[in-house]
Structure 1
Amino acid sequence: MSAADFVPERADLDELRQAACGCRGCELYRNATQTVFGEGPPDARVVMIGEQPGDHEDLEGHPFVGPAGRLLDRALEEAGIDRDTVYLTNAVKHFKFTERGKRRIHKTPGRTEIVACGPWLTAELARVRPEMVVCLGAVAAKAVLGADFRVTAMRGQVLELPEFRAVATMHPSSVLRDPDRERAYRDFLADLAVASRELKSA
């Protein structure tokens, strides 16, 4: 199974977003409230890629609107990156979770789901054509930089790819879960600052 059968050729971002609502490329659509596609300027200089929608995003239909999104907003402002100029998306477009009572608990997407959803991300990057891609967390990094990529070893480094430069860092939700949140936030902010400097020097 793959999203490839659902991705229209020569479609713009709005058309891709509409088509993604009907995606059945993996089983995640069955339990998710809706597809959460990327949002932002079609000519954004930077694309930020997370893992998957969370509970808030699944209910509201927009990426990065929950607690992790608010932390990302703060870090972007401090790093000197205007969120309004960023295209925000996720490697996987449906919320994967397990139910615990009335709560829906996040589950990490598997490799099969990441690969199945890959055609949507490829199409987004092809339409936006960013100068810089920031991978937020291991799932995003593996989707863009390969299955063997390790965020812990390579975070904050600028990688030159044929189509764009890339920087990987932790997901903002990881900052929120870290026992030493202040240190984790400083490290996260430092990685975003690397991307900011690259953009300003281009």
Structure 2
Amino acid sequence: MELYPEESEIIAEAHYKLSLALEFASVTTSGDDGTNAKREAMDQDMRDEAVTEMELAIKSFKLKMQGKVVELATMASPEDNDLARAAISEMKEVVADMEQRLVDLRKDPIDASDLLGGGPEANPLGGILGAALGESAAETKARIDEAAKNATDLSGLVRKKKAKDAADSPAPAAAANGKRKAGDDAEPDAAESPKKARVDEDAA
């Protein structure tokens, strides 16, 4: 029984997070006491599974994006068109990020000791993977879930775009201040007019 269609964001996000978890598991192993330890050699089978899951995540999200494109073609409202175009643009960025991660996964595996023992400059995942060593399985799961959540949020694209636009737009108060300033500039002229009248009378 199919609970969600293949193009569902839930499916795409599930594949993406599973890929991250498999990538992590390919360089760590759980000890008898529940803590994590680095593997002597990377588990290539798990890494291959991580590649497969990332491919499925990309496929699912592209289907979602294609649906948005079809939806855009049937829209009549200019405002709805703008929102749909903004959502599609952000979806393309998400796909590009996932495709780059797929490229990285397909590269020659990095030695586990280098990945886990090097500094942050050695590998961007070093901070996450290295910090997880010595943690319990539950603590590690929480860390990976948080990393996956922060890495790519596949939902609420349109809402995020609208919030960004609102932040970038000038505040109405600024325009109002500008109008008051124009009025202030005009007031000195009005105040000076009686003086000009008296000067004219003296000259006469």
TM-score, scaled to structure 1: 0.28
Q: Which has the higher strand share?
A: 1
TM-score, scaled to structure 2: 0.28
Q: Which has the higher helix share?
A: 2
